[in-house]
Amino acid sequence: MTTANNPFHSDLSAAESRQDQVTPLQGSVLHQVNSVKTLRTRVKICGLTREEDVDAAVAAGADAVGFVLYEPSPRYVSAKRAAELARRLPPFVTPVFLFVNAHATKIIAACADLPLALVQFHGDESPEDCLQVGRPFIRAARIPLDENPNASGFRFDLVRYALDFKAAQAILLDTHVEGYGGSGKTFNWSLLPPNVNAHLVLSGGLTPANVTDGILQVRPRCKTLAVDVSSGVEISKGIKSADKINQFVAAVRAADEQLVNNHVRLSPT
């Protein structure tokens, strides 16, 4: 077939011609913008207890959904119930099982029927405890609620923590309150270290109203960023709102778009 009779070849030639007209500087800017676009902020909806909430999270575009297997939590579900809900998930949406100071044998048994489930350690587990389970995992870091940078007392060392748990797929940042998460309170994002050599998951008091700002503040500080929400998309504890989930995901996408736009403005023209 000749070039004149091949519309695909013709389109390709036109595209190549247009590409030849891009200056090296413009090409560099386009490459940087495309690189930013590929760093999409991942979304996890946590504390699910109902089928309709799992479906709503999937429909909104969540990348992962979380099930709390910690009995004192008002969002607790049994391992059997978590597995039932997780089986509703389509491909490429990850189930995450959250445990607090559970024995390795209990975790292994709970995850036995779900080979793709990710484990989230949300208690006082050591690096050795996490590795005993033999599964990919996320490690929660409990960030002080009102840490004063000028105080002489304890400071949470996130850089050291990320190094200690370097085997984790990501470090999840949650607010340190009495108990283990689920408080709906945010910590001071601006006090996080400027450069953390880890994938981070921002959590703790996120809502559709503040998640955009959280992403803009935290994403430049780490390898990649995901966000995790529970109480911020609820009607009551353990009962999610499909509308709030949709609003939350939309706010995340707005942050991604703003980051791309900011990058374009900062790039040379």
Catalytic residues: 46, 174
User: Tokens in use for 76?
Assistant: 């607790």
Compute the distance between CA of residue 199 and CA of residue 220 in angstroms, rounded to an integer: 11
- Evaluated on CA atoms 128, 132, 135, 139, the torsion sign reads negative
Compute the distance between CA of residue 139 and CA of residue 70 in angstroms, rounded to an integer: 15
Q: Quickly count: other Cβ atoms within 10 Å of residue 105's Cβ.
A: 10
Compute the distance between CA of residue 206 and CA of residue 233 in angstroms, rounded to an integer: 9
- Evaluated on CA atoms 72, 125, 225, 54, the torsion sign reads negative
Compute the distance between CA of residue 99 and CA of residue 107 in angstroms, rounded to an integer: 8
Which position has the token pair 């091949």?
6
Compute the distance between CA of residue 221 and CA of residue 200 in angstroms, rounded to an integer: 9
Burial class from Cβ neighbours inside 10 Å (0-12, 13-18, 19+) for residue 71 reads exposed
Residues 6 or more apart whose CB falls under 8 angstroms from that of 234 comprise: 47, 240, 241, 244
